[in-house]
Amino acid sequence: MKTDRLDAPRVALGVSGGIAAYKACELLRRFTESGHQVTVVPTAAALHFVGEATWAALSGRPAAVETWENVHEVPHVRIGQQADLVVVAPATADLLAKAAHGLADDLLTNTLLTARCPVVFAPAMHTEMWEHPATQENVATLRRRGAVVLEPAVGRLTGVDTGKGRLPDPGAIFEACRRVLARGVREPDLTGKHVVISAGGTREPLDPVRYLGNHSSGKQGYALAATAAARGARVTLLSANATLPDPAGVDVVHVSTALELREAALKACADADAVVMAAAVADFRPAEYATGKIKKKDGVDPAPVALVRNPDILAELSAHRARPGQLVVGFAAETDEVLANGRAKLARKGCDLLVVNEVGGGKAFGQDVNAAVLLGADGTETEIPEGPKETLAETVWDAVVARLG
Ligand code: PMT
């Protein structure tokens, strides 16, 4: 039996009755191994999938199963009141419906009604159930009230079928919860907003083997996506050749070239409240694509590679806002005259905010930390000192929230 540290964050882990309940064991492990005190609150249906003994063994405390057990401790009120975070994973369509309508017919739904801490739902169900207007309205209701409802992942479902509805990876759910916990009781201030983020670096193919590319790892863009999801946003992440794991609760669209990124950006931005272009987009692409591998010939110099300009996606999004009030944020990767070039770029691109970061010499690209100056079209300049890319992302979202009102 382990003794909990008094200052250990208290997590109530709700588990509802879906096949993905077994993945909550991995989530539970991550919480306990990182020093959280976890009370597991499985529904009766969840216990068909994973038994009480497993939850008790993994959490080091009895699972909270029965409303009518230990009534003198008033568990139906106490667990929610005392929690620093309630997370429900998996959250079935039925559980979301009950939560949205305030039903309280078991210990988990009672816990949800009494919780005054942040609440995260990680839904998992078949695509049809997720897409049903009833579920979508319930999700919208929960988000409007301040809960963070992660978007389900796309992939293999219970049987041979695939689609949207898979429980996000437990590691990614854990990361999302960690961010929500770090924000504390502050309202998820991007609730109800759709944000589009580009990340990674485009690749412009020369032949089936070679491409023009850059050193972007996608870390900065993924940090923007993960932090926006933790602040309650619906997030579409346009990922150009990044190999990072999908952040939990984020719709990820994979692209490769600048032209593909442009098409995906125009589509995703149609109903977006804000778009952040963190991707490193190639300004040029080879004028011709060789369908076979370009061969070297003895004694013959290689032909120069002719390039053509790629469309400037950021400038286009800024000039043709898909909806009134849509906020457009760009990044500027500069190697010299960083701030002067950044200011000129802000004017040229026509965006509302520009994150100017110095690159080259081991800076920014591929690193876990970044430093920048955030320029506003309104003349504001905010220095963001070197720190984790997530911290920079939070500062960007603070500025976005302030401007979205
Ligand atoms: O991915 P990481 O390894 O974490 O590295 C992060 C980063 C260095 C890539 C990131 O912080 C960054 O600076 N991203 C922008 C890189 C870039 O393309 O900068 P730029 O100065 O060339 O372009 C300015 C802006 O215009 C960018 O928002 C870019 O997305 C956009 N652009 C550029 C060219 C083009 N054809 N279309 C565009 O939309």
Decide: 397 in ligand 1 pocket, CB within 6 A.
no
For 310-331, b/e burial (b = at least 16 CB within 10 A) is: bebbbbbbbeebbeeebbbbbb
Report whether pLDDT(186) > 80: no
The residues that bridge with 164 in the sheet, in sequence order, are 154
Average pLDDT over residues 50-66: 93
Decide: 217 in ligand 1 pocket, CB within 6 A.
yes
> What is the per-residue pLDDT for 294?
94
Q: Find, among 22, 21, 23, 52, the residue nearest to 39 by Cα.
A: 52
CB of 43 within 8 A of CB of 72? no
Whether a cis peptide bond, with omega within 30° of 0, leads into 90 is yes
Mutate to test the pocket of ligand 1, among 244, 331, 374, 384 (most ligand atoms within 8 A of CB): 331
CB of 377 within 8 A of CB of 352? yes
Residues 16 and 121: their CA atoms lie apart, in Å, by 11
The residues that bridge with 307 in the sheet, in sequence order, are 286
Catalytic residue of the set 70, 110, 138, 214: 214
205 — phi, psi (to 5°)?
-70, 140
> What is the per-residue pLDDT for 239?
98
Q: What is the DSSP string of 150-176?
A: PBPEEEE-SSS-EEEEEPPPHHHHHHH
Residues 138 and 135: their CA atoms lie apart, in Å, by 5
Q: From ligand 1's centre to the CA of 85, what distance in Å?
A: 36
Residues 405 and 392: their CA atoms lie apart, in Å, by 20
> What is the per-residue pLDDT for 1?
44
Q: What is the CA radius of gyration of the chain?
A: 24
Report whether pLDDT(77) > 90: no
Lowest mean pLDDT among 135-144, 156-165, 282-291: 156-165
> What is the per-residue pLDDT for 188?
84
Nearest CA to ligand 1 atom 27: 331
As a whole number of angstroms, the longest Cα–Cα distance in the chain is 90
Q: Which residues contact residue 231 at a Cβ distance below 8 angstroms, ignoring those fewer than 6 apart? A: 183, 188, 189, 190, 191, 397, 401
Decide: 314 in ligand 1 pocket, CB within 6 A.
yes
Catalytic residue check, 214: yes
> What is the per-residue pLDDT for 183?
82
Decide: 176 in ligand 1 pocket, CB within 6 A.
no
> What is the per-residue pLDDT for 6?
62
Place of tokens 């999801």: 229
> What is the per-residue pLDDT for 4?
59
Write out pLDDT tens, residues 82-141.
999 999 999 999 999 999 999 999 999 999 999 999 999 999 999 999 999 999 999 999
Decide: 372 in ligand 1 pocket, CB within 6 A.
no
Question: With the C-alpha atoms ordered 267, 269, 271, 276, is the resulting torsion angle positive or negative?
Answer: positive
Write out pLDDT tens, residues 243-280.
999 998 899 999 999 999 999 999 999 999 999 999 99
Decide: 277 in ligand 1 pocket, CB within 6 A.
yes
Q: What is the residue extent of each domain of the chain?
A: 10-183, 194-404
Report whether pLDDT(359) > 90: yes
Lowest mean pLDDT among 5-9, 112-116, 221-225: 5-9
Domain 194-404 superfamily per CATH: CoaB-like (3.40.50.10300)
Counting from 1 in the atom list of ligand 1, the atom nearest the Cα of 310 is 36
CATH number for the domain running over 10-183: 3.40.50.1950
Report whether pLDDT(5) > 90: no
Q: Find, among 161, 118, 159, 112, the residue nearest to 138 by Cα.
A: 112
Counting from 1 in the atom list of ligand 1, the atom nearest the Cα of 215 is 3
